[in-house]
Amino acid sequence: MKEYDILVIGAGAGTKLVTPPSQIGKRVAVFEKETPGGTCLNRGCIPSKMVIYPSELLRLRKESRRFGIYDAEAPTFDVNSIFKRVNATVKSDSNSIPVAYDKNPNIHYYPKKVWFQASKILTDGEETYTAKHIFVVTGTRPYIPNIPGLKDTPFWTSREALSPDVFPKSLLILGAGFISLELGAAYQAYGCQVTGLTRGEVLKHADGEIKKELNAHLPFPIHTDFTFSSVEYKNKVFRVHGKNKEGNEVFLEAEQLLVATGIKPNTEELHLENTKIQVNAEGYILVDDTLQTTEPGVYAFGDVIGRYFFRHSANYEGEYLFEHLFGQKSQKPILYPPMPEAIFTYPQIASVGKTEEELQSENIPYYKGVNPYSSSATGMARLSHSGFVKVLVSKETEQLLGAHIIGEEAANLLHQILMGMYLKATLDDYLGMIYIHPAISEITRNAFRKVREQKLKEGKL
């Protein structure tokens, strides 16, 4: 049996517990059955944003006509070369990870699948490994719905959609969440005819007013409340059969089909039944407030624990574990700061904290300030016809409870609000600072001014 100080299963966010411990003398073994870097680097955050950004440039060019800027000729671009460049860059970054590990005598990189043979013992079928600390960071994979005929077709998941052999002229997307909205908008901008289909609603977890605004400005048509009957692939064409929200039979065809209907945890192949590690009904690993599983000495973080599904949240958890176990030996539980999220679709969306619906269901008193992009100097300059900043402020503490933005630069605009939430800033703090005129951040200021106006109407000022 090979003994180490640390075993890490998963070379995505798991890298947070590889190099840092090795630099303080810990012997680390890291196992990865696919390409190092995980979902984010290889088939998620990074390649998708590299694909999305050029598509935004194309869309911006089309919208420049609103400003009286006309170009008689259509832009020339090679979409296949864009994808090739993206994948070459990602592959280079991924390949560099084991090279860096090989230069570190305290790190052993194993490009293989491992599972639990027993408590605190991993095996690859030939050799066994053990360590004082084991970290499970195996992430998630696409969930494939049980629609008759679907699994017999060459459908795409986000993996294939980010590295297509041939760019399709038409695309059907099952699902209406992050992946659907981001990749669908990009493909549409590149000239593909995109249509979405979902059993429920678009972006079901979002704040209600965000969903309403998004539905009014969808980057491609999406059929909601769709009942799927079957999927078939014949003569290089996908055909989806179902019923629309009115109950009418519908047949939709396209050259390609992307399934983006959710995710499921990568826990089945770990053989957790050989350990004390427990999972919930959906298969996500249960952890305590220090991210330790029900098996002492075995920890899990990232998507596989089902708390948050962002690389930035997984990085935060990994950094916490390093400090908790190998840093200052803090016994404090993990405390998450406000957790932001963004969807890089068109229009862009960013959120943090509670939605208005959550505040209402929890009977939390709040003030609301909503300011459209158009009601600002920057909005006037950009001829903004959609988008807004929405802030929800506690009536008791006047601290921010939630913020939701839809429109240009939403992800960047959110960070000012996020900093304030982290520092427990009050309404007066947000209104007391000076905002550059006419920067886009004035839209945020105006939203807080709307809160002040609401307080005035209620006689609280």
pLDDT reported for residue 70: 77
Q: Where are the alpha helices (DSSP H) in 255-346?
A: 311-326
- Can you tell me the distance from the alpha carbon of 186 to that of 86, in angstroms, rounded to the nearest whole number? 14
Q: How far is CA 160 from the centre of its chain?
A: 17
Candidates 216, 180, 184; CA nearest to 388 is 216
Q: What is the rounded end-to-end Cα distance, in angstroms, of the chain? A: 70
Pick the CATH number of 2-141+264-326 from 3.60.15.10, 3.50.50.60, 3.30.70.580, 3.40.50.300: 3.50.50.60
pLDDT reported for residue 458: 87
**Residues acting as catalytic residues:** 437
Buried b (16+ CB within 10 A) or exposed e, 366-391: bbbbbbbbbbbebbeebebebbbbbb
Candidates 241, 221, 227, 236; CA nearest to 150 is 241
Q: What is the pLDDT of residues 284-310, one digit of tens each?
A: 999 999 999 999 999 999 999 999 999
User: Can 2-141+264-326 and 150-261 be said to share one CATH topology?
Assistant: yes
pLDDT reported for residue 329: 66
Q: What is the pLDDT of residues 53-67, one digit of tens each?
A: 999 999 988 888 888
* Angle separating helix axes 178-189 and 45-63, nearest 10 degrees: 50
Q: How far is CA 239 from the centre of its chain?
A: 29
In the chain, the percentage of residues whose pLDDT exceeds 90 is 90
DSSP tally for the chain: helices H, then strands E: 13, 21
Q: Where are the domains of the chain?
A: 2-141+264-326, 150-261, 347-457
Q: What is the pLDDT of residues 423-433, one digit of tens each?
A: 999 999 999 99
> Between these two residues, 406 and 327, which has the higher pLDDT value?
406
Q: SS3 for 416?
A: helix
Q: How far is CA 47 from CA 53, 88, 154, 185, in A?
A: 10, 10, 22, 15
8 Å CB contact between 260 and 175: yes
- Can you tell me the distance from the alpha carbon of 238 to that of 147, in angstroms, rounded to the nearest whole number? 14
pLDDT confidence tier of residue 262, bands split at 50, 70 and 90:
very high
Residues of the binding site for FAD? 49, 303
pLDDT confidence tier of residue 235, bands split at 50, 70 and 90:
very high
pLDDT reported for residue 41: 86
Rg (CA), the chain: 24
Q: Is 338 exposed, middle or buried (0-12, 13-18, 19+ CB in 10 A)?
A: middle
Residues of the binding site? 49, 175-182, 262, 303
Q: What is the pLDDT of residues 353-368, one digit of tens each?
A: 999 999 999 999 999 9
pLDDT of residue 151 exceeding 80: yes
- Other beta carbons within 10 Å of 204: 12
Q: What is the pLDDT of residues 375-386, one digit of tens each?
A: 999 999 998 999
pLDDT of residue 218 exceeding 90: yes
pLDDT of residue 232 exceeding 70: yes
CATH superfamily to which 150-261 belongs: FAD/NAD(P)-binding domain (3.50.50.60)
Beta partners for residue 134, in sequence order: 7, 298
- Can you tell me the distance from the alpha carbon of 294 to that of 273, in angstroms, rounded to the nearest whole number? 12
The CATH number given to 347-457 is 3.30.390.30
Q: SS3 for 390?
A: strand
Residues of the binding site for NAD(+)? 175-182, 262
DSSP structure string for 13-70: GGGGGTHHHHTTT--EEEE-SS-TTHHHHHHSHHHHHHHHHHHHHHHHHHHGGGGT--
Q: What is the pLDDT of residues 2-59, one digit of tens each?
A: 999 999 999 999 999 999 999 999 999 999 999 999 888 888 899 999 999 999 999 9
pLDDT reported for residue 61: 85
- Which segments within 358-430 are labelled E, that is strand? 366-372, 388-394, 400-406
Q: How far is CA 83 from CA 189, 190, 397, in A?
A: 14, 11, 49
Q: Do strands 366-372 and 349-353 pair parallel, antiparallel, or not at all (unpaired)?
A: unpaired
Q: What is the pLDDT of residues 158-184, one digit of tens each?
A: 999 999 999 999 999 999 999 999 999
8 Å CB contact between 52 and 344: yes
8 Å CB contact between 185 and 220: yes
